[in-house]
Amino acid sequence: MTDGSSRLAERAAELRAAFDRTFAEPARLDESVSEDLLAVHAGSEAYAIRLTEIGGVFADKKITPVPGRASSFIGVAGFRGAIVPVHSLSSLLGHAADGTPRWLMLAASLPVAFAFDQFDGHLRVAGDAIVACGLGERAATCVTEFVRLPGLIRPIVNLHMALDAIGSAKLDAAPIKER
């Protein structure tokens, strides 16, 4: 029995040492670079948006229509005690808008909301799954990158470019005539 007891004591000592080593070694950080994206549909097209550019996502918020200069402007909505302008992501990306979208997302950098048609979910992808596109037609629609997914490539909407496009549209638009 002493042989079995000594093996048990040795095994306990090994486990204790391994346990203690986990606290003595520096924490291991995940070396892989990943990006978190929100997968959405604007119109009938699939897109992705970086989560760092989004301040919140909301479903079934009431949008109050008001006149505006930008063609993408569809009204205002209340968020956390503030009245925020709402723009159609479909319209900004050059798609026809089909009714009032169900989903709204707040931009993280400014109090502006973007309406979109369908929420597809969260994506966490490796950094090398994101590729830049050329400065062609896509750059004019707030898209400068794509994310490669199994069986699908989604354009990544740059919300900073979308905000710039909204600002430019306001400056270029003809003034609203008062009645």
> Can you give the pLDDT at residue 175?
40
Angle, CA 142 vertex, CA 140 and CA 148 arms, to 5°: 115
Tell me the per-residue pLDDT of 75-111, one tens digit each, with 9 for 90 and over.
Answer: 999 988 899 999 999 988 888 766 778 999 999 989 9
31 has a pLDDT exceeding 80: no
**Where does the chain have alpha helices with state H?**
2-24, 89-92, 159-172
> What is the domain partition of the chain in residue ranges?
34-172
Superfamily classification of domain 34-172 = CheA-289, Domain 4 (2.40.50.180)
Q: E strand or H helix at 153, and its extent?
A: strand 152-157
**Residue linked to tokens 């302008």:** 85
Q: Say how far apart CA 67 and CA 61 lie, in whole Å.
A: 19
176 has a pLDDT exceeding 60: no
Q: Which two tokens stand for residue 29?
A: 């950080």
35 has a pLDDT exceeding 80: yes
pTM of the model: 0.73
| Residue ranges with strand state E in 43-150 | 45-50, 54-59, 73-79, 82-88, 103-107, 113-116, 118-126, 130-132, 143-149
Q: Say how far apart CA 45 and CA 20 lie, in whole Å.
A: 53
- Compare 29 and 179 and report the one with higher pLDDT: 29
